[in-house]
Amino acid sequence: MQLEINLKLNRCPFCAIAKPLMKMEVDTVTNDCNKSRQQFWKIYKCSNCGGLVSAVSYSGRTEHVAAVYPPEESTSEDLPAKARSFLQQAMESIHAPAGAVMLAASSIDAMLKEKGYKDGTLNSRIIQAAKDHVITEDMAKWAHQVRLEANDQRHSDEGAELPTEADAKRSIEFAKAMGQFMFVLPAMVTRGLKESTPAAK
């Protein structure tokens, strides 16, 4: 990705619209305290939501982008494929809260199945996972709330209010946290142990 007049992102980190039109609003150059490293900054505005994104290059005004803030959200490759796909879709459909909530719940369901919790309702599997210390008791309470919101949407409960974007964000945040706890952190520990194990002589 180049530092150009329009920043080419896959999705806006704020509204999640695909292929957003990100127009440059500010172009400036900064230095570190020793005047030894120039930083070429551009600030862009999403034409859909008005969110501002900054991008920096360390090699020139129109050179390779070194970093974007806030970064585009992505899911960890340590997550099971199905759970990761559901979670990524949920993140990308935050502007459609009902769908995002259901996708987040589907991601949670897929994570539990990956750990062997395949029989019974989603609620019963969450409770069992907590009893088995696969997740914590507090996570089980949080997951139960996410499940209920998603369940309202699936069964078109006439008494249930449609979820808001804030509801969808909470569901997605839980699914991300559950993925971190169940898969990402254990994978990091495994890699760390492997990398720190002395080579056999």
> What digits encode the pLDDT tens for the residues 48-59?
999 999 999 998
DSSP state of 70: S
Evaluate whether 66 touches 56 at the Cβ level (below 8 Å): yes
pTM for this structure? 0.75
In this structure, are residues 143 and 157 in contact, taking their beta carbons and an 8 Å threshold? Answer: no
pLDDT digits (tens, 9 = 90+) for 34-92: 888 899 999 999 999 999 999 999 987 778 999 999 998 889 999 999 999 999 999 98
Q: Please, is 159 exposed, middle or buried when counting C-beta atoms within 10 Å of its C-beta (0-12, 13-18, 19+)?
A: exposed
